[in-house]
Structure 1
Amino acid sequence: MWIGTLYALAAGLMWGLVFVGPLLVPEYPAALQSVGRYLAFGLITLPLAWWDRAALRRLHRADWIEALKLAAIGNLLYYLCLAAAIQRAGGPLPTMIIGTLPVVIAISANLRNHQRDGRLPWRKLAPSLLLIVSGIACVNRVEWEALRSAPGADPMRYAQGALLALVAVACWTWYPLRNADWLRAHPDRSPRTWATAQGVATLPLALLGYAVLWVGMVASGSAFPMPFGPRPWAFIGLMAAIGLFASWLGTLCWNEASQRMPTALVGQLIVFETLAALAYAFMLRGQAPAPLTMLGIGLLVAGVMWAVRVRPEPAAAEGHAA
């Protein structure tokens, strides 16, 4: 359990990087950032795929189709919506909305996977969920007030950002549930191999997306300098860093956690991503969190610490008790 928690913590620390990436290159379209990140991810996995080629050959056609679905929705579509949301509403609002993922995933998994994983009793799960929701509410209150006081704020643009962030939440509620389904159904397969397989599946999608975007910009007469934009080395370096750390290593660590822990529990540990994103955002701003934000972070951590102590009850025992 604790090894799985440490893997989830490592994944969260690396995934937090994706919230500051769009702020570092704000002049780059969200679609270009999405295909650029996953093009880097796919290229990074090619030598890894060669090294792991024996294990990859054991994957069947259905496995590759599943990896393609996970890559399309959990990678490309998720990050496209997230990057667009951050560009429209700034960093805080999407972080606030994505911060609800621990609660959304925990509830979804508890309703969906209790026959396989056992059910985390609601009466025991409720305190951790309440702590997490309270912590998110505290952080949200501070960030929302800052958002409202920003000069020249465009409510419609912020609304668009909020809607895109909600779509990102939907994508990443679906992704860990389906990803965990595959991992739990294949306990003999390496989480590293599955992370690499998703990278290989992402590569053709990213290449196609990059080509379509490039042709579309040329056809529309866009002044944006393709293929790497006005700051090519900054863009390439950022995409390579996010592709390596947030995509491959983050996915590897999350797969390790998902194979060790019930889905309803590991879903709550995505709170580490929210904490990391907030920490990076404040570092980028060069300011310390407000007292209410610190209280919220403390509540989030307390909720996670409570959650890892909860053990699932087998479905049979639950039915007998009923």
Structure 2
Amino acid sequence: MFADRLLLKGIGYGVCAGLCWGVIFLGPQLTPGLSGLQFAVIRFLCYGAISAALLMPRWRRVCVNLTMADWKSLFWLSLIGNLIYYSLVGTGVQLVGIATTSLIVGLIPVFVTLAGRNDASAVSLRKLFPSLCCAVGGVVLISWRALINSDRPDTLTNIAGILCATGALVTWSWFAVSNARRLVQVASVSSHDWALLAGLMTGAQSLLLAVPVFGFEAGTHSISEWLDFLWVAAGVALLSSVVGGACWNQASRLLPLALSGQVLVIETLAALVFGFLWEHRLPDKYELAAIALLVTGVVWCLNCHRAPLHFPAA
């Protein structure tokens, strides 16, 4: 029962993270005047500023047990899992839309589950195979639907967008696995503080990129437009990076890697809902079928990870 309680707690944190992260696909659509990289830089500058403000009163206490290896991990996790990943997501969204990008990225649960199949607490791949088939089937179905109904005639633009989304899939799959395994080694740092340290590192990296990325574009937008960009970026940073990052780190500590990968499908579902709201429409029958397959895959995987009940002998 205790194991089931921890499992439910970890799933709850994972669901919260997924809901928060669904917003990241909407941000680039709300700022069409910026490229994917530019919006990523502004978002992570905000994330860095928020993280610095929250860490400042506890800086020495948080950092006292961190080693040089921890800081190196934070550097690469921040660069690949935050800055590069979100630049690719933002560019993909602007080139091929929210639905196509979020559904390609929606294969992350499959990648992460396969990466964690040899962990000590992992369920055998044979038991997970049906849930993985459901998840892949859902993504294939809805991706096929998106391609045959594409209203974007520029083939090169579509290919570039799909390549960006695929790059985002690879980079965040690597991040999910590497971050989960690193968290096991830094037990002295809370999940929330690890997310803030990553924010501080990503903010510093974004600061170095700000001048070459924006160059002489300050005069291309009015002050009111820059303020609008800033508000959107700050909102995404607070909800997705600070809150979502802390929830995900906590879920990573409580759940087996294979299961945490499956919970990530919530991000895809949330992104789809936000995309439908943005487009002012309801999902069609193909999209509903794909969503049903994704949910079935997750529920099946959750059932595989439940601890068996032990009844006392009579």
TM-score by length of 1: 0.88
Equivalent in the alignment of 1:99: 106
Equivalent in the alignment of 1:214: 214
- The 3-state SS of whatever aligns with 1:28 is coil
Mapping of residues 1-322 of structure 1, within 5 Å: 1-53=7-59, 54-110=61-117, 114=118, 116-147=119-150, 150=151, 153-215=153-215, 218=216, 225=220, 231-311=225-305
- The 3-state SS of whatever aligns with 1:58 is coil
- The 3-state SS of whatever aligns with 1:171 is helix
How far apart are the structure 1 equivalents of 2:272 and 2:111?
19
Residues 287 and 208 of structure 1, relative CA distance in 2, 3 Å threshold: same
How far apart are the structure 2 equivalents of 1:68 and 1:312?
35
Q: 1:143, CA displacement in angstroms?
A: 2.1
- The 3-state SS of whatever aligns with 1:93 is helix
Aligned residue pairs total 300
Residues 224 and 137 of structure 1, relative CA distance in 2, 3 Å threshold: farther
| C-alpha contact 1:71 1:202 (8 A) present in aligned 2 | yes
- The 3-state SS of whatever aligns with 1:308 is helix
Q: 1:312, CA displacement in angstroms?
A: 9.5
| C-alpha contact 1:117 1:263 (8 A) present in aligned 2 | no
Residues 135 and 91 of structure 1, relative CA distance in 2, 3 Å threshold: same
| C-alpha contact 1:9 1:269 (8 A) present in aligned 2 | yes
Q: What amino acid does structure 2 have at the position aligned with 1:33?
A: F
- The 3-state SS of whatever aligns with 1:252 is helix
Residues 229 and 178 of structure 1, relative CA distance in 2, 3 Å threshold: farther
Q: 1:59, CA displacement in angstroms?
A: 1.5
Q: 1:311, CA displacement in angstroms?
A: 3.4
How far apart are the structure 2 equivalents of 1:237 and 1:279?
22
How far apart are the structure 1 equivalents of 2:257 and 2:122?
10
How far apart are the structure 2 equivalents of 1:229 and 1:71?
30
How far apart are the structure 2 equivalents of 1:162 and 1:229?
33
Which deviates more from structure 2 when the two are superposed, residues 172-181 or residues 131-140? 131-140
Unpaired runs of 5+ residues, structure 1, are 314-322
How far apart are the structure 1 equivalents of 2:109 and 2:223?
35
| C-alpha contact 2:14 2:251 (8 A) present in aligned 1 | yes
- The 3-state SS of whatever aligns with 2:189 is coil
Q: 1:197, CA displacement in angstroms?
A: 0.8
- The 3-state SS of whatever aligns with 2:116 is helix
Residues 83 and 6 of structure 1, relative CA distance in 2, 3 Å threshold: same
String of CA shifts for 1:43-81, please: whole Å, max 9, x gaps.
Answer: 011121124321233222221111111110000000111
Q: What amino acid does structure 2 have at the position aligned with 1:185?
A: Q
Over the matched positions of the two proteins, sequence identity in percent amounts to: 31
RMSD (Å) for aligned C-alpha atoms: 1.9
| C-alpha contact 1:56 1:197 (8 A) present in aligned 2 | no
Q: 1:39, CA displacement in angstroms?
A: 0.4
Unpaired runs of 5+ residues, structure 2, are 1-6, 308-314
Which deviates more from structure 2 when the two are superposed, residues 6-15 or residues 25-34? 25-34
String of CA shifts for 1:251-304, please: whole Å, max 9, x gaps.
Answer: 100000000011121011110110000000001111111122112112211111
Q: 1:229, CA displacement in angstroms?
A: 7.3
Return structure 1 stretches of 4+ with deviation > 4 angstroms.
Answer: none
String of CA shifts for 1:65-112, please: whole Å, max 9, x gaps.
Answer: 1111111000000011111111112222211211111111111222xx
